[in-house]
Structure 1
């Protein structure tokens, strides 16, 4: 009798586990098409970047995503996977980005340069928020523009998108402006440096503190020449380090800034980590199935991971080959996430945005460039 009871219990348990595994497998299948196209596109973007380093893999991936969406190559079966890629993979990529930061290299820049970095980030964001309010630009878009232009371009926009409840049209607009003005700076900055006759150290600090994307900094510094690339990149990475405290502060003071913090959904999403946001951000979501919400942590987990990665990189326990491999994975994940974000961009909707964000982007670019130049000269 005992043996029969044990056998029945085992049979029921095995059947339950098998059923759950079958359901989990079927559930996962809906994400495979999106994962596959994002992976393939990221590989292509990274490959092109390895051949032409001045072409950022992240920006290429965004462009590919925009093309796929707007020439109607995107299939509905891809949306669930791309939604996961643009959120989950993005956060993992930002954590791995921390391994690029060696805090001792940043400390060697000196207090003057570090103060310049802080001023660039702070004044860039404050200018964008206040001027955006005066111009009637949405608080979310103004904040995204300020972060993208002041910290680290598209990665900062995407990172902030993971911490606040941002409309994806605002995200797409901010990224597009980063691409536009950052690309322009690749040519404008070297022309100004060479035309005015700025010395090498000042030029390196200025370009690193003024240009939006890391790849754009490398491109501009390479055109300028004079061995300023390393200085420019280290200064730029110091700005990247500001991503963590800025996200934390925005999370704390979101209401005062006129934005909504990202909301963590119910326990259902903890049990089923791929169940949230199964459509691309441009599609309206029906949240009727979510019965409880909770306030997000004051410091998002991926920000803590970013800081932890920087500390580990600084400790020197990860060999150079390991850091190189991590950078490849990080670039791949961010490129895939950027493709997912690009697939959420509808050009027809962007045309409705108007010229105000463009003017705001120009104003913030000028403020960032001027503050960076004053700091570079004085440091």
Structure 2
């Protein structure tokens, strides 16, 4: 029966299999959307839920080879498209006018998160690739940062998927922890917002944690977080330069991350063109945000299908321990910085 199924799959035109592969990733993204509505899974969100479904599917049914081209398109091309769209979240004008001190905080956070993660990976002999990606995700902007940096540093697809899944889970846990601790913390609304923005993993996590602190906390939190998103571009170019130096003298070339140019252009368009010149409502922005989420989720499904449970067990445990340490220390460290200097 399996042979007959394989024969039937081979009779499907290649172009049709390509589009079916893309549709397959969006279908699992849809399943992740519904799974995220289930109590318990609602804490992890659509992205992590979809990756979990993809990993389970891989273990049970194996990798759908006949759909590989479409799945690969999602995990590479649609991923870059999602990162470009992500740029609309960044208000360049706001950062340049009011967020320069917060940019310095952000640079400090990114440096600490990446360097401490890499150092601990050597001390604990953990998987360097996953730990580095987790450090970048923790320091900058979660899954989007991992997705942007992974191709530059030539990380394996399974390492990228594992990193994204872990960062989504940890960001959710920490943001919930912040909301629980908030009433007991000696911070003003503004300080609490800045603390959330410079220490939590993703924009959604910052919004989740800062919103209960009031409008001021939410506004300051998002400003601080967008400062770190702003730094994604220079960090990516820095690692592209380091990879070129590493590969100097070899035939291996580092591909230029053209999608970052799209990210910059989208940020500039969202700041100075869409709204100020071209009518673009908040609801339209929300639509773009939703499209970004779905594209990013479908892309992560493509990566998740390449993960085996054995790899997850062998590779992920030590990086998870490291990112726990880094995230806790980062939260404490930034708490005192905000308390004393902001």
TM-score, normalization by structure 1: 0.75
Cα distance, 1:45 vs. partner? 4.6
Task: Give the corresponding residue for 1:339.
Answer: 301
Aligned counterparts of 1:43 and 1:230: Cα–Cα separation in 2: 31
Deviation at 1:87, TM superposition (A): 0.9
Aligned match of 2:325: 363
Q: Is the 8 A contact 2:43 2:172 kept in 1?
A: no
What is the aligned partner in structure 1 of residue 271 from structure 2?
314
Kindly state the Cα deviation for residue 68 of structure 1 after the two structures are TM-superposed: 2.3
CA 1:237–1:57: 2 relative to 1, 3 Å? farther
Shifted more, 64-73 versus 98-107: the winner is 64-73
What is the aligned-residue RMSD (CA, Å)?
A: 3.0
Partner of residue 350, structure 1: 312
Is 2:260 aligned against 1:303?
A: yes
Equivalent residues in 2 for 1:149-228 (5 A)?
Answer: 149-225=138-214, 227-228=216-217
Q: Give the whole-Å Cα distance in 1 for the aligned partners of 2:212 and 2:37.
A: 18
Tell me if structure 1 keeps the 8 A contact 2:127–2:319: no
Instruction: Select which of 18, 25, 31 maps to 1:31.
Output: 18
Counterpart selection for 1:41 from 22, 28, 40 = 28
Q: What displacement does 1:160 show?
A: 1.4
Is the contact between residue 51 and residue 165 of structure 2 (CA under 8 Å) also seen in structure 1? Answer: no
Partner of 1:372: 334
Are the equivalent residues in 2 in contact too, given 1:106–1:238 (CA < 8 A)?
A: yes
CA distance, structure 2, for counterparts of residue 66 and residue 223 of structure 1: 34
Give, in whole Å, the separation in 1 of the partners of 2:304 and 2:293. 16
Q: 1:116, 1:376 within 8 Å by CA — same for their partners in 2? A: no
Which is bigger in relative contact order (C-alpha 8 A, separation at least 6)? 1
Tell me the distance in 2 between the aligned counterparts of 1:238 and 1:58. 23
Match of 1:57 in 2: 46
* 1:269 match: none
Question: Do 2:18 and 2:67's aligned partners in 1 also have CA atoms closer than 8 Å?
Answer: yes
On the 8 A contact 1:98/1:306 being kept in 2, the answer is yes
In structure 2, how many angstroms separate the alpha carbons of the residues matched to 1:203 and 1:153? 20
The whole-number CA distance in structure 2 between the counterparts of 1:354 and 1:94 is 25
Greater displacement, 106-115 / 200-209 = 106-115
Q: Per-residue deviation at 1:46?
A: 5.4
Distance 2:323 2:38 in 1: 31
Query: What number of residue pairs does the alignment pair up?
Result: 322
Which residue number corresponds to residue 290 of structure 1? none
Residue in 2 that maps onto 1:87:
76
1:120–1:371: 8 Å Cα contact kept in structure 2?
Answer: no
Question: Which residue, out of 119, 130, 135, partners 2:119?
Answer: 130
Q: CA deviation at 1:204?
A: 0.6
Structure 1 residues 106 and 144, CA gap change in structure 2 (3 angstroms): same
Contact 1:86 1:341 in 2 (8 A): yes
Could you tell me how far apart the structure 1 residues matched to 2:310 and 2:31 are?
27
2:4 maps to what in 1?
none
Q: SS of the residue aligned with 1:351?
A: helix
User: Is 1:254 the equivalent of 2:243?
Assistant: yes
2:153 aligned counterpart, secondary structure? coil
- Residues 46 and 126 (structure 1), Cα distance of their counterparts in 2 relative to 1, 3 Å cut: same
How far does residue 48 in structure 1 lie from its aligned partner after superposition? Answer: 7.5
* Cα pair 2:243 2:254 within 8 Å, conserved: no
Larger radius of gyration: 1
Is 1:71–2:60 an aligned residue pair? yes
Q: Deviations over 1:31-63 (max 9, x none)?
A: 122111122233455577799997633233223
Q: 2:130 aligns with which of 138, 141, 153?
A: 141
The answer as to whether partners of 1:112 and 1:375 remain within 8 angstroms in 2 is no
Aligned to 1:324: 286
Contact 1:46–1:332 at 8 Å: present in 2 too?
no
User: Which SS does the other structure have where 2:50 is aligned?
Assistant: helix
